[in-house]
Structure 1
């Protein structure tokens, strides 16, 4: 049965690594619904957070293929209940339609905030899960949405001994490599 999964991939920073990872999904005809990358707390180690709809069996095979790439430290498949995650949305709204209702109430009720104001528009920021962000978009539509942009998923894995042990080992390897270069 297909459902949503989060895949985390820990890798070195190499040109073309994003392409090599995404091609593995493409070959298996798995659509990536979200992809976010950033450096981790370990210098030189980057984390890919990939969201897909698929089956666990197929994703276990994909992760195995990803881990065979030279630049990959480790890759993991996570069920939704194994991760804490958020997404970020920005809403550019026309200032001309402010007389159409109480937009301040919508902003407060959605725990959002205004991050910039211009004579023609203002920008609202909201974090949350995808459905929350889409619900707020619908609420703001009568006010004149000029533009909407949403980030990919940012996720942290809940406690997992195997996962945290791996991160610790990875940090020690990076430190050892740095020490051997400076000697």
Structure 2
């Protein structure tokens, strides 16, 4: 088993219960592993939540963490994946002064070249939305920083696996 650290995407299918987030983050915390991003949403299965967590660690560590997460009563199943196993994106919003949009050709070019989308414009500010890989978002952030960013927020990773997930079959059997 590899001791080399790499970024893993953890997918957790769970019932939506109070306190579970604290218990799962404690599993990482006890091993001194930083959660880089976390996203929670509804899943393809009715009444089941899907959490997507990213962290950099070794394969040995991720296997132990998955084992601990799976032991939580509300957790239906936890999986881990490498970047090669998933299709993933992040999303972000930038709030910038409006006069830059109207008076600076360079910022218009940055928006166009980055495939960012203008969400709203008013007299004081405009808001840009960008979805893509973390590196694309970081590049756009660096480029826009030169102009001054009023506010910035980025989502955690969202991901689907390239291979079919056995969770759907497992839950269909469970619901019968």
TM-score band, normalised by the shorter chain? over 0.9
**1:109 corresponds to:** 113
Q: Distance in 1 between matches of 2:40 and 2:126?
A: 28
Of 58, 62, 80, 1:59 maps to 62
1:109-149: per-residue Cα shift (whole Å, max 9, x none)?
11111001111100000001111101011111233211111
**1:180 corresponds to:** none
TM-score using structure 2 length: 0.93
**1:87 corresponds to:** 90
**2:30 corresponds to:** 27
Structure 2: 5+ residue stretches without partners: none
Deviation, 1:158, is 0.9
Q: Distance in 1 between matches of 2:166 and 2:104?
A: 54
Of 139, 145, 155, 2:143 maps to 139
Q: Distance in 2 between matches of 1:28 and 1:143?
A: 40
Q: Distance in 2 between matches of 1:56 and 1:148?
A: 33
Structure 1: 5+ residue stretches without partners: 177-183
Q: Distance in 1 between matches of 2:14 and 2:117?
A: 34
Deviation, 1:100, is 3.4
**2:127 corresponds to:** 123
- Equivalent residues, number: 172
More helix by share: 1
Q: State the Cα RMSD in Å.
A: 1.3
